[in-house]
Structure 1
Amino acid sequence: MLSSLRMRILVVTLVVVALALVINASVSYLTVQTHNEEQVGQQLDAVATGNARAIEEWTRARADMMEAAREPVMGDDPRTALIQLAESGGFLSAYIGRPDGSIMTSDGWNAPDDFDSTTRGWYRDAVARGETIISRPFVDAVSGQQVVSFATPVHKDGRLAGVIGGDVVIDDLIAEVASIHPTPSSFAFLSVDGETLIAHPDAELTRQPLTAVSDGLTPEFIARLVRQDATWEPINVDSKTKRLAVASIDGTDWELGVVLDEDEATAGLRAILKSSLITLVIIIG
């Protein structure tokens, strides 16, 4: 009977210890989970925001150069002013389109007789918005490189005098975005209006719809994520759950997205859970 009593005491003790371990592990897991979610969210947001600000500086610098060229380009020697703009801003070519449809370029390009600068997208967009604009990416016909156009309207005596534009290669910008991966399986993308990819680690996706990355990446989804307070939203990429944080690029229609792999985000939690289970098995065993 004494042996039976000892066995009961041992069993009860083991149950109490096991229960205490389970409760302690659960509390620890939930505490760490909450902290981990906050930390991952803050880090993901910091990566997206920090890199977005760097891209913003890149675009702002060129927009400032374009706007600073308004007065000299409207002076007595516009060609020299355009050449200086192209050289200082790293533009493939700088140019001014006038209301009569004519164009002058920094590289001396002679437009065909039927050319009309006022029908070009960069001209129309700059006039319509009344401010400096950045076009969607396109492939330069001569160099074959990825390019965007900056354009800004110029007024004289209260009337439109023309639109100054410049084409700049974005290969380095694309490479910078492709290098953003805070964890091995994470990546970043740069898009415009939540619709079209400007940069992605897979170069084949450049200028493709953003939905090519994930069906859920619609303009409405991106706009909502940019506006809301939440730092990230779950998305599905190649049948795997990911976390997406998006930061807008001020002064543009662009947004930078950073995609974090869910397994890598929760690796620390799984390690804690595994350790707790092993400890419990050892004690019970």
Structure 2
Amino acid sequence: MNHFKQKYLPTLFFIFIFCSLTIAYIVLVFINYDANKTMMEGLVKTNQLNIVKGYKRQIDEWLSVKKRIVFSASTFLSPLDPKKNYHEIRQILQNAITTGEFRSVYIGYENNAFVTGINWNAPKDYFPTQRPWYTVGKKRNEVTITLPYIDSDLFKDVISIVSPVYRNHELIGILSSDLILDAIQKEILSINLPFNGFAFLVSKNGQILLSPDGFSEHKCSGCEPAISAILSNEKNVGTTTYLHNGEKYLVFYEPLENSDWIFATVLNEESIFGELDEQLFGNVIMAICFGLFGVLGVLFFLFLSRKIFEHKRLLDSFAHSNVQAMAIVDKKKHIVLANEPLKNFLALHESIKVGQPLVYLQEREGKQGLIQTIIDSVNEVMNETLNAKIMQLPNEETSECYVLQVMPIIEKNEKIEGCVVTINDITHEYRLETHAKEHEQIMIQHSKMAAMGEMVGAITHQWRQPLAALLVLMGMLRVQVKDKMISEERLVESFDKAVEIVKFMEQTLQSFKSFYKTGQEREYFDCATVIEEVVSILKPIARIHNIDLSFIYDYKKDYPLFSYPNYLKQILVNLVSNAKDAILEKNSNSFEGHIIISLEEGTDGYTICVEDDGLGIQVEFEEKLFKAMQTTKGTKGTGHGLYLCKLLVENKLGGSIHVHSLSNPTIFSLFLPKGNSWTKMS
């Protein structure tokens, strides 16, 4: 029971709260329904009055432009006589038609003269002064708009704008222009009235001018009760109502300023509240759906919350684990999280306070060097590089080593939000690596000592012949001096020869000394010169074993390199020594062997090949040829020679070593990259 309460009671509580809120919302919707109904009616009335005013303003502006054009035309016609200036009058009328977009423009005079701007000939019984447009213009004595009347040309209702024409303050005629009401008709049809509404134009005497059904009062059956309601209302502008076919309608109307017209719109009241009822129904359905989705949302939220809680628990466990020291810093460089191992790493006497700036650690007693390194690394990552920084922090005195990692936290918009700082103790791995390097160095020194034995043997052989010659020369000089059988010139010549022999021995000794000088710095040297030194020292001992050691290269060229010449010498001595041993295993001293060293220049570096015609290498040794503790010489080999060659070539010289042919002949090749040797040498 307790387990049920702990696991499901919070979920049921959330569902109960959400369902209660949903029911309260539905009740509130019904309570406010009547108020919303009244408010809806008020909003509709306000909106419709605004629509009426807006379209009334557009029609007023349209009529105002037409009136100005008619008035301007009447002004131009005032000084013209219909008999003398017939063509000028007709041109003015045609211009007015074009400018005002009238169906026709014409003028009638007091003497019943008549001029029109269109191609229409008036009948003989046509008297302008008796036409409705003439009588209206004369009666109003201003630019005005007529009521619909039967046109003599079209034989249907038209509306005209008329203007009196005066000359010397005396009325001489009336100018009339027939309106094209299609534009207003389109405007009325384009009015998007809700609730089955419609709009129409009516004169103040109740005659329909324009309606959605056209230019006729017989085509708008719904307009008649609306017109009756407008005319019976005492207000000139506003709202009224009427009943028609058992339904109630709202009428909104306002008179035009430039005419005796009234613009009106009609809405069905039941349609207004019908939509409100639909909205009420929709709100109830939406509330129910909202409640259902809310319950599902609560369940999903609880599911996610449980997942987030589990992830947070894992993160907290990781952050406070004793495996590694860890801290999280926000974008203001304030500490958000710091675990206990970090405090121990920094040798602090108290726990690290969350929320403090990172630099506050400088004020605490601890490993200030490590603290300063952390602060500098965080500043570099967050202010400059925005990239992760990983660095080793070795302590030579204690042989301890830590790895500091500063990982930036970057949002999708590439803005940094903070960083994660971790410190790992890699002392064990560091000591193993140090031991491996020391062992590697010992192996290199052993290899060097082994090669030195080769060199000592070569020098011993090289010195044997000059020492014997020097002893013979000294013995001959002793006898000749004792018997006084040598001239002074002969004595000087003998001494010069002795000096030459000693210089040769000294040169051999200097080559040996330079071969194994202790300098381990990179330097500029000529690759061919270094190989020549190796060949000159190893050639005598090769000759002892009836082996021809030769060096092939283009002596006219320079081969500059910026690297370690001693390591290159050591590699070549190992390869030549292996080649010599392979030849001796194949042949006795009675057969001549060959070792050829070649040097070629490529685009990116130099290729040195060591070729011999010895016994060769078995195929099964090819894959493990350059691995440690692997030898092709059985008990005679140590398994370090080629492994050290590969180690020196790749780690020291930055090149590579390969075997291109296992036998007939055996060929090893070294590739040494140039880098920027040419630029530095020049």
TM-score, structure 2 as length reference: 0.34
Structure 2 counterpart SS, 1:224: coil
Output aligned runs, 1:135-284, within 5 Å: 135-138=146-149, 142=153, 147-183=158-194, 185-203=196-214, 206-208=216-218, 213-215=223-225, 217-218=227-228, 221=231, 224-227=234-237, 231-267=238-274, 269-271=276-278
Structure 2 counterpart SS, 1:226: coil
Deviation string for 1:149-207 (max 9, x for gaps)? 1111122212112111111221332232133241151111111115111122223x714
Flag the 1:118–1:146 CA change in 2: closer, same or farther, 3 A: closer
C-alpha distance in 2 between matches for 1:60 and 1:240: 38
Structure 2 counterpart SS, 1:235: strand
Is this contact kept in 1: 2:229–2:240, CA < 8 A?
no
- Structure 1, unmatched stretches of 5+, are 1-19, 280-285
Is this contact kept in 1: 2:97–2:105, CA < 8 A?
yes
- The amino acid of 1:57's aligned partner reads E
- The amino acid of 1:221's aligned partner reads L
Is this contact kept in 1: 2:160–2:177, CA < 8 A?
yes
Is this contact kept in 2: 1:137–1:207, CA < 8 A?
no
Bigger radius of gyration? 2
Is this contact kept in 2: 1:225–1:246, CA < 8 A?
no
Tell me which of the two structures has the higher relative contact order, counting C-alpha pairs closer than 8 angstroms and 6 or more residues apart: 1
Report the more deviating stretch, 81-90 or 27-36: 27-36
Does structure 1 residue 36 correspond to structure 2 residue 37? Answer: no
Deviation string for 1:197-248 (max 9, x for gaps)? 1122223x71449886343632863663434xxx422222443211110011
Flag the 1:214–1:161 CA change in 2: closer, same or farther, 3 A: closer
Flag the 1:133–1:210 CA change in 2: closer, same or farther, 3 A: farther
Q: CA deviation at 1:145?
A: 7.5
Which residue does 2:97 correspond to in 1? 86
Flag the 1:237–1:189 CA change in 2: closer, same or farther, 3 A: farther
- Determine which of 54, 57, 69 is the counterpart of 1:50: 54
C-alpha distance in 2 between matches for 1:102 and 1:90: 24
Report the more deviating stretch, 32-41 or 131-140: 131-140
Q: CA deviation at 1:84?
A: 0.9
Structure 2 counterpart SS, 1:232: strand
Flag the 1:165–1:276 CA change in 2: closer, same or farther, 3 A: closer
C-alpha distance in 1 between matches for 2:282 and 2:200: 36
Flag the 1:59–1:219 CA change in 2: closer, same or farther, 3 A: farther
Deviation string for 1:96-136 (max 9, x for gaps)? 11111211111253333332211111111111111122122
Is this contact kept in 1: 2:226–2:251, CA < 8 A?
no
Flag the 1:96–1:272 CA change in 2: closer, same or farther, 3 A: closer
Is this contact kept in 1: 2:90–2:116, CA < 8 A?
yes
C-alpha distance in 1 between matches for 2:72 and 2:175: 11
Is this contact kept in 2: 1:96–1:165, CA < 8 A?
yes
Q: CA deviation at 1:45?
A: 0.4
Is this contact kept in 2: 1:194–1:222, CA < 8 A?
no
Structure 2 counterpart SS, 1:217: helix
Q: CA deviation at 1:143?
A: 5.5
C-alpha distance in 2 between matches for 1:238 and 1:124: 41
C-alpha distance in 2 between matches for 1:199 and 1:152: 23
- The amino acid of 1:48's aligned partner reads V
- Structure 2, unmatched stretches of 5+, are 1-23, 81-87, 288-682
Percentage of matched positions with identical amino acids: 23
Is this contact kept in 1: 2:164–2:175, CA < 8 A?
yes
Does structure 1 residue 127 correspond to structure 2 residue 138? Answer: yes
Flag the 1:150–1:187 CA change in 2: closer, same or farther, 3 A: same
C-alpha distance in 2 between matches for 1:156 and 1:242: 52
Is this contact kept in 1: 2:166–2:173, CA < 8 A?
yes
Is this contact kept in 2: 1:191–1:255, CA < 8 A?
yes
Structure 2 counterpart SS, 1:265: helix
C-alpha distance in 1 between matches for 2:158 and 2:268: 31
Is this contact kept in 1: 2:229–2:241, CA < 8 A?
no
- Determine which of 47, 55, 67 is the counterpart of 2:71: 67
Flag the 1:271–1:83 CA change in 2: closer, same or farther, 3 A: closer
C-alpha distance in 2 between matches for 1:121 and 1:169: 18
Is this contact kept in 2: 1:56–1:249, CA < 8 A?
yes
Flag the 1:277–1:178 CA change in 2: closer, same or farther, 3 A: closer
C-alpha distance in 2 between matches for 1:240 and 1:265: 12
Which residue does 1:7 correspond to in 2? none
C-alpha distance in 1 between matches for 2:158 and 2:226: 27
Structure 2 counterpart SS, 1:250: coil
Is this contact kept in 2: 1:191–1:210, CA < 8 A?
no
Is this contact kept in 1: 2:206–2:231, CA < 8 A?
no
Q: CA deviation at 1:29?
A: 2.9
Is this contact kept in 1: 2:226–2:242, CA < 8 A?
yes
Flag the 1:272–1:196 CA change in 2: closer, same or farther, 3 A: same
Is this contact kept in 1: 2:77–2:165, CA < 8 A?
no
C-alpha distance in 2 between matches for 1:144 and 1:113: 17
C-alpha distance in 2 between matches for 1:220 and 1:241: 15
- The amino acid of 1:165's aligned partner reads S
> What is the RMSD of the two structures over their aligned residues, measured on CA atoms?
3.1
- The amino acid of 2:76's aligned partner reads P
Report the more deviating stretch, 27-36 or 138-147: 138-147
Is this contact kept in 2: 1:151–1:164, CA < 8 A?
yes
Is this contact kept in 1: 2:195–2:269, CA < 8 A?
no
- The amino acid of 2:253's aligned partner reads V
